[in-house]
Amino acid sequence: MTEELLSCPFCGKTDALRVVAASQEWDEDYFGPYPHSESWSVVCDASHPGGPGGCGAQAGASSKGSAAAIESWNTRSKE
């Protein structure tokens, strides 16, 4: 069971949140093969026009998997 993401502490959105692997965001055509160890983070996605319209906040980077990134996101604050 995946832990539920708490709303963004900056804009309050929940429908714009995505858990992403760093390699998914990497532009292989431009930069070449992904050269790092995998890490995951939670993003309040502002990148898609007409989408849910998040604020762009990102946190919870973890090399221990998506569940650790979610836990980190859910325990952070605006400060």
Q: Which of 17-21, 54-58, 65-69, 75-79 has the lowest mean pLDDT?
A: 75-79
Total tally of structural domains belonging to the chain: 1
Q: Smallest Cα–Cα separation from 16: which of 36, 40, 44, 42? A: 44
Assess if residue 11 is contained within a domain: no
Within 8 A by CB and 6+ apart from 65, the residues are 40
Instruction: Check residue 37 and give its pLDDT.
Output: 76
Assess if residue 31 is contained within a domain: yes
Residue 7 tokens, joined = 């709303």
Instruction: Check residue 79 and give its pLDDT.
Output: 53
Residue 72 tokens, joined = 């980190």
Assess if residue 3 is contained within a domain: no
pLDDT one-digit tens code per residue, 1-55: 357 899 998 899 888 898 988 877 767 787 777 777 788 889 998 876 666 678 8
Helix (H) / strand (E) containing 62? strand 58-62
